[in-house]
Structure 1
Amino acid sequence: MFSWLKSWKKAKTSHESPSALKQLVSTKPADNAASSPPPKQFASDEPISGADQDRFNRAPFASRIADTIARRPDPSSLVVGVFGPWGDGKTSVLKMMEEELRRHDHVVVLHFNPWHFQSEDQLIRGFFLALADGLDRELSNRQEKIGEALKNYGSLLAVVPLVSGAADAAAGIGETMSNVNLDELRSRIENFLAGSGKRVVVLVDDIDRLDRSETHSIFKLVKLSADFKHTSYVLAFDDEVVAAALGERYGSGGQQAGRAFLEKIIQVPLHLPPADTASLRILTFEGVEAALSMAGIELKKAQADAFARHFVDGLEPRLSTPRAAKLYTNALMFALPLLKGEVNVMNLMLIEGIRILYPALYAAIRDNPSIFLESQRENRSDAFKSEPTPFDELVAKALPSLTSAEREIVKDRLLYPLFPRTGRMQYGGEWDNIWSREQSICVARYFKRYFAYCVPNGDVSDASVNALLEDVVKAQDQEKRALIEEFSRKRSVGQLVTVLRQRSEQLTPESAGPLLRAITLSGAFFPKERGLSILTTRMHAAILVKQLLKQIPAGPARWTAAERVLQDATPLPFAVECLQWLRHDTENNSDRNILEADEHPRMLSIVAQRVAKAHTEHPSYIEFGDDSPSLIWVWNNVDSEGARATMRHRFDLHPEEVDAYLDCYVGEGWEIESGLPIRDTLRQMEFNEIDRIVGADYVMANLTKRYGEDLGNTDEYLSMEGSEAWRMAHKFAHIYRHVQCRT
């Protein structure tokens, strides 16, 4: 599936442009780096057990050290240091050394792990106890056990702290243990080893994982015990870490002092050969393949190409150890199943690489979305200015150890592909729909998913949208409505409408039709939000209706579908909203009109008949409140005489309902500073509409009969005590009298 990526070979120079990747050629891994089947679980950090598992061509290095130690004729002690950073494979090299050493019959290989001991006393006793037990097993045919002498030697050394060399330690024991001579014990031990013809090799690992005090202790111990003849020590550690720890105690302090101390102990300092780029890449790509396989994700070739290109250009320069490769692929093992189908897989693999290899940059991206999602240059001419943008400054702060040129490479080959608007190119709003379809991290809706490893509350998962589009095709009307209701119950219906609008152009008539029916029947789930925003969820849903109708072939089929929308859209305010967006607009681009101009009167008539019928049962100004004016407006435009007669008849039977009718024309305002809603008041425009539909004289007569002749005679009505209906009656009367005076 993905193993072809192993053939990618790094370009020769680090400054090559992405186009240079076209020149990459296939290369076979070395025999000793042959790939093994990709794992189906998290990659373990366990070392290899032998040279047959060597992937980084370190077996010759390990074999040479082992052979040199085993064959050297000099009986004097030898201390070899194998240096390398954490996770670079030092333990695996020790394993291969041990494998080679055990081929020599005269070599006794012993392990000592300083992690197991918490004090200097325990460390000394434990070290010589390990030597004693190991040698007793290897030299079990001898009458006198060498282990007894080693244990006694260790016990004596443990009496005093490790504050100096062996001579000082012996002197410290001096008078207290005068009946025992350390030199005599040492001679006995060396005679044992010489007589047996054996050479002891002690392998000590994980020194760089000790705390500073423990690090001091283990090196003092080695200094005290390393002068045994016929004995060699191989110490594996990160020399940078250990030198810094030792430098605090010796010399002038600092790493240089620590290195000076190491030089007194380590006789053969060797640095682990660096893992070659090709082998590290193969290891990484095998892990990526395993992670994709475990998540059940199949990459298209274009996706795999994009990932490989950006990985090689942006991530691989930081991938210096096998452990880093395993950490990265384990991160993918975790993230890919969680976000399968919800994000762009290539983007996710790259951002996870940034998390592992550039952790400070990852945090900067996560905590500053606007800088990465929005253009940092105000206009096209700014794109060619040299002043650093907030994006440039943030990247510099997150990558202080990189040179300016290296940071430019990270931006050009890793960040710009992920966040295009951070670059010098200008991208218009139309790109948001393109990037949304690709589930890209550079879209605000998707951005959070990459860092939360889930779909945030209020958002909708792409999987749920896909399921909706699939299920709605075969669902009955009641089931269609239930599918939309589920999103409403989770308070994500607004985001659902947004996503469906973005996808509408990709829908076929066979899927657009059933979805259109579901939206038509679900108007009650699309709220008309309060606030300063002009576009509400209900408006977006009506626009979606128009977009879905556009996917149905023009002509009788589209008109039939539109007619059904206007007949069945519920509640009535949603039907009117759909009518507003479906009407033919002769002043705008004809591409935006989906129905013919002569079909508009027919659409008005359908909705007007519904409003008239509903009014006889439940007046719209009572049932729909501030939505009522738009409903009555449609009714009045089709049958003004019928609307006026019907409404007056209702008011004659229920005079108090005039208050509710007036109230539905009063909207809300919003305070700029606090953002709190404030009730608006009746204005001249609304008065004119009421006059046109019911008649101002009729309404004034109703109000005068119920509230008295003094309505509107004073400008102080707004400060008067009384009900809101009474205050609104005064406002209507005030405008009425003002109009009367003008005429």
Structure 2
Amino acid sequence: MANHDPRLKLHDDRPSASGDDLYHRRTFVRRLTQAVARRTQTSPFIIGIEGAWGEGKSTVLEYMAQELHANHRDVVLVRFNPWAYGSQDQMLLGLVQLVAERLRENTRKSVRKLAAGVLGLVGSAAELAGSVSGQGHLEKGGAATRKLADALGQEDSFPKQKAALEAKLRTAQTQVVVLVDDLDRLDHEAIRSVFRLLKAVFDLPSFTYILAYDPDIIAAALEAHFESRGALSGRRYLEKIVQLPLALPRLDPLDLEEDLFANLVGAFEDNGLPQSAEEIVEMRRLAKVLSTHLATPREIRRLGNAVRFALPILRGETNPVDVCRVEALRVLFPELFEQVLRHSDLLTDTGFLARHTYRRMLLRDGGANPIGGPLPVPPPGPLHEVFGGFPPAAKQLLGMAFPNAALAFDLHEPGRYSGPYAAHQPEYLKRYLQYAIGSDDVEDALTRQFIQDTVHRKASAEATLGALDAKRLPRFLGKIALYARPLESEERLALTLVLAGHFYESYVSFGSHAMPLLTVRDTVVEVLEQGVGRESSGERWEVLERLLKDLPEWWMSLDLFEACSSLLARESRSGREAVAQPLRDWLADLLHRHQTQLMQEPRAILVSALRLLAERHGRSLTHALVLDFVGERSDHAQRWLLALARQVRVEAGALPSRFSIEQYLMLEEVVDMDELLERLEPLVPEVEGLAATDEVMARIMFDRLLDIRPDAKEFRQLEAKELRQRLVAPPIHKSEHNIE
């Protein structure tokens, strides 16, 4: 996995303070600010900025503060967030302090003097409210505030103080604008307290309050209190408080699309991931699909943060486009994502395409069946049952990530993008769902490094291979076959040497218990076959010859040559079998030098070895070799039969009953079977029971040979008859004028 650790740039939920106006709100804000700053009436006024959570109300207030600061410096600006205070009395005193501070900061002396009046007025109101309600903490806070006002020479009684302050405000001819945010985050009682505070205490001339809230939440809070009294509903009561309700301008889906596209591209850039042209196109398509579902900029920020977080976790082990798709499912459609977790097998089912095509064919043809009656059309299947009830945007997104879903819901996607490590591949989906490499998975980076190490750091490659457990080894070998395709001859040789060496070392150590490791040998063969089309036949066989000659034991060379029989079959079909002949001759000579060991080695593929010897040195040699070995000894006869039984091997061990007529015919090429069976018969005793002993297995193998012999003779007779007919049949001449 690549080591890349950029600083994580996550977007918080604060209002946008940048100069970007992605949603074209500044024109609206500019008009609202001018209306407030130029208001000639001195009566208090409350404006409501109404919108859903995350729709941008706080950003509008931020833009308004910027506009007031830049173009209306004579307006006293107060920014108040009641959610920042832990109790109602703290909320009251906090607003008092904010208003007083902003007034004292003003450059005009007449405005600065208003601060003391505000402190005194609110202090008296709080002290009075605390003594009446029995809330001593509120009474003490109000007394402290009033004490500060007394020091500044204010009137003593609340009515007198309020009248004096109102007169001073009118005389000062200044506008005080209070921006109140996050009102809809408060609990119901706190919401009602804010409205009481504004109407009972801060109902002052020249004060304009801009409240940002979700009208449904505020109406519910008010209705919960007043409905029990038979009063007006929450919305009607809200209308009595807010003189100018302003709904946020509707968000344009095109703007949402642009914002989301910029966030996705920015997530790539923040994590140092270059984007290909295909990936950029796919990000645009993803933004277009999701823009029909997204309602607020906040949802875009949340998705952007999720993508920024997820991209570097398995960098180089996942497809970044699919990371965006899966994170969109996780963040925007959590219920659908839960079903993806539960039914991931449906989305990665490799047999779905065939079943879907068959069903479409039946639907198209009305179940027509040329043989019999009409065939029943299968039901749509479990994908429809699990995901069919989700909204169109959710299914569209699911189809972008998983072709099975695209087929199931007829989501036609021409030129669909699918890069490496795709989420729809069964071996990779867990990475996206778990943010991790599973216990049965292997890092692709480890696989690529292993292939490089086989060329330059063989010991390291061998250590990597030896460290893999039985669960991870099959996945590792599959990836080796994938990444080995572009290798050149020398790289292919180095890779197969390490793999073959590991297999045969394990086979020597574990014997028949190493059967599961046959996948290692199969991978060697697959890597060699990949050279077809890239290398000439001569080069391919040269690689195999060098590999066989590098193995430390003759029986290993024989075993791997037999495993590579598919290569020889390719050459035979193309008429180029001669290129393999030098290697066959070399191996036959190697076996000739070890012929005394051949009949004793249980790991040797005996029939194949004898055929190579017979082809190179004649059948008389192999016939004598077999009969001399069997001799008159029962133990040798048993070992010979067990060697034949091992020619058909499964994980459970040898399986003589599967010894085929083809293998029998191969035996006839190296030994006279009639003479051999006659020699064996007195040496193989009858046995009772089915215990898997050597004696029982040898007897089963002998009986199998006896069973096959008549069929083999009949096959030989038919073969000879067909050959004679071909030899004596006259050539057929067709007349130019009588062609049937």
TM-score, normalization by structure 1: 0.70
Aligned to 2:399: 416
1:388-423 CA-to-partner distances (Å, cap 9, x unmatched) read 4432333344x3xx4xxxx1x654x54334322334
Closer, same or farther in 2 for the Cα pair 1:642/1:90, shift >3 Å?
Answer: same
1:498 lines up with 2:475 in the alignment:
no
Aligned to 2:138: none
Structure showing greater radius of gyration is 2
1:260 lines up with 2:243 in the alignment:
no
Measure how far apart 1:444 and its partner are. Answer: 1.4
Closer, same or farther in 2 for the Cα pair 1:240/1:512, shift >3 Å?
Answer: farther
Q: How many Å separate the matches in 2 of 1:222 and 1:529? A: 88
The amino acid across from 2:78 in the alignment is L
Closer, same or farther in 2 for the Cα pair 1:460/1:735, shift >3 Å?
Answer: closer
Aligned residue among 294, 309, 314 for 1:339:
314
Q: How many Å separate the matches in 2 of 1:114 and 1:419? A: 46
- Kept after mapping to 2: 8 A contact 1:373/1:419: yes
Which blocks of at least 5 consecutive residues in structure 1 are unaligned?
1-38, 164-178, 428-433, 623-627, 671-676, 704-710
Closer, same or farther in 2 for the Cα pair 1:435/1:111, shift >3 Å?
Answer: closer
Measure how far apart 1:82 and its partner are. Answer: 0.9
- Kept after mapping to 2: 8 A contact 1:684/1:735: no
Aligned to 1:35: none
The amino acid across from 1:597 in the alignment is E
Secondary structure at 2:530's aligned position in 1? Answer: helix
Q: How many Å separate the matches in 1 of 2:702 and 2:418? A: 54
Closer, same or farther in 2 for the Cα pair 1:549/1:69, shift >3 Å?
Answer: closer
The amino acid across from 2:36 in the alignment is I
Which stretch has the larger CA shift, 632-641 or 291-300? Answer: 632-641
Q: How many Å separate the matches in 2 of 1:524 and 1:245? A: 77
1:311 lines up with 2:287 in the alignment:
yes
- Kept after mapping to 2: 8 A contact 1:132/1:150: no
1:202 lines up with 2:178 in the alignment:
yes
Closer, same or farther in 2 for the Cα pair 1:307/1:131, shift >3 Å?
Answer: closer
Q: How many Å separate the matches in 2 of 1:529 and 1:296? A: 50
The amino acid across from 2:694 in the alignment is M
Secondary structure at 1:350's aligned position in 2? Answer: helix
Structure-to-structure mapping, 1:199-238, within 5 angstroms? 199-225=175-201, 227-238=203-214
Closer, same or farther in 2 for the Cα pair 1:606/1:68, shift >3 Å?
Answer: same
1:151 lines up with 2:123 in the alignment:
yes
Q: How many Å separate the matches in 2 of 1:735 and 1:96? A: 91
Closer, same or farther in 2 for the Cα pair 1:134/1:537, shift >3 Å?
Answer: same
Closer, same or farther in 2 for the Cα pair 1:291/1:395, shift >3 Å?
Answer: same
Q: How many Å separate the matches in 2 of 1:105 and 1:435? A: 54
Which stretch has the larger CA shift, 609-618 or 548-557? Answer: 609-618
Measure how far apart 1:307 and its partner are. Answer: 2.8
Aligned to 2:328: 353
Aligned to 2:90: 122
- Kept after mapping to 2: 8 A contact 1:109/1:201: yes
Closer, same or farther in 2 for the Cα pair 1:290/1:197, shift >3 Å?
Answer: same
1:79 lines up with 2:46 in the alignment:
yes
Aligned to 1:392: 384
Closer, same or farther in 2 for the Cα pair 1:94/1:305, shift >3 Å?
Answer: same
The amino acid across from 1:154 in the alignment is A
Closer, same or farther in 2 for the Cα pair 1:486/1:593, shift >3 Å?
Answer: farther
Secondary structure at 1:270's aligned position in 2? Answer: strand
Structure-to-structure mapping, 1:40-189, within 5 angstroms? 41-49=9-17, 52-102=19-69, 103-104=71-72, 106-138=74-106, 139-141=111-113, 145-159=117-131, 182-189=158-165
The amino acid across from 1:234 in the alignment is I
Q: How many Å separate the matches in 1 of 2:551 and 2:133? A: 89
1:592-634 CA-to-partner distances (Å, cap 9, x unmatched) read 9689434666555555666677797899756xxxxx2x52333
Secondary structure at 1:46's aligned position in 2? Answer: coil
1:382 lines up with 2:359 in the alignment:
yes
Q: How many Å separate the matches in 1 of 2:706 and 2:64? A: 108
Q: How many Å separate the matches in 1 of 2:51 and 2:539? A: 73
Aligned to 1:442: 424
Measure how far apart 1:128 and its partner are. Answer: 3.5
1:561 lines up with 2:528 in the alignment:
no
- Kept after mapping to 1: 8 A contact 2:184/2:214: yes
Aligned to 1:546: 528
Secondary structure at 1:251's aligned position in 2? Answer: helix
1:263-293 CA-to-partner distances (Å, cap 9, x unmatched) read 2322211112234444444443333333222
How many pairs does the alignment contain? 637
- Kept after mapping to 1: 8 A contact 2:492/2:527: no
1:67-102 CA-to-partner distances (Å, cap 9, x unmatched) read 222222222221111122333322222122223334
Q: How many Å separate the matches in 1 of 2:11 and 2:467? A: 41
- Kept after mapping to 1: 8 A contact 2:638/2:698: no
Percent of aligned positions that are identical = 22
Which blocks of at least 5 consecutive residues in structure 2 are unaligned?
1-6, 136-154, 364-376, 411-415, 615-620, 711-740
Structure-to-structure mapping, 1:641-680, within 5 angstroms? 662=642, 665=645
Aligned to 1:367: 342
Secondary structure at 1:236's aligned position in 2? Answer: strand
- Kept after mapping to 1: 8 A contact 2:588/2:612: yes
Secondary structure at 2:445's aligned position in 1? Answer: helix
- Kept after mapping to 2: 8 A contact 1:519/1:545: no
Q: How many Å separate the matches in 2 of 1:730 and 1:72? A: 109
The amino acid across from 1:395 in the alignment is F
Closer, same or farther in 2 for the Cα pair 1:187/1:609, shift >3 Å?
Answer: farther
The amino acid across from 1:382 in the alignment is R
Aligned to 2:371: none
Q: How many Å separate the matches in 1 of 2:534 and 2:121? A: 95
Closer, same or farther in 2 for the Cα pair 1:524/1:718, shift >3 Å?
Answer: closer
- Kept after mapping to 2: 8 A contact 1:567/1:606: no
The amino acid across from 2:548 in the alignment is L
Q: How many Å separate the matches in 1 of 2:314 and 2:489? A: 30
Aligned to 1:728: 694
Aligned to 1:292: 268
Measure how far apart 1:585 and its partner are. Answer: 8.2
Which stretch has the larger CA shift, 555-564 or 275-284? Answer: 275-284
Measure how far apart 1:507 and its partner are. Answer: 4.1
Which stretch has the larger CA shift, 520-529 or 356-365? Answer: 520-529
- Kept after mapping to 2: 8 A contact 1:287/1:329: yes
Q: How many Å separate the matches in 2 of 1:235 and 1:141? A: 26
Measure how far apart 1:470 and its partner are. Answer: 4.5
1:557-582 CA-to-partner distances (Å, cap 9, x unmatched) read 22222222333347777645542343
Measure how far apart 1:204 and its partner are. Answer: 1.3
- Kept after mapping to 1: 8 A contact 2:562/2:608: no
- Kept after mapping to 1: 8 A contact 2:114/2:165: no
Q: What is the Cα-based RMSD across aligned positions, in Å?
A: 5.0
Secondary structure at 1:502's aligned position in 2? Answer: helix
Closer, same or farther in 2 for the Cα pair 1:684/1:183, shift >3 Å?
Answer: closer
Q: How many Å separate the matches in 2 of 1:92 and 1:584? A: 69
Q: How many Å separate the matches in 1 of 2:189 and 2:328? A: 35
Q: How many Å separate the matches in 2 of 1:580 and 1:180? A: 109
Aligned to 1:5: none
Measure how far apart 1:110 and its partner are. Answer: 1.6
Q: How many Å separate the matches in 1 of 2:101 and 2:597? A: 99
Structure-to-structure mapping, 1:557-596, within 5 angstroms? 557-569=539-551, 575-576=557-558, 578-583=560-565, 596=576
The amino acid across from 1:463 in the alignment is A
Q: How many Å separate the matches in 1 of 2:317 and 2:586? A: 41
The amino acid across from 2:434 in the alignment is A
TM-score, normalization by structure 2: 0.71
The amino acid across from 1:236 in the alignment is A
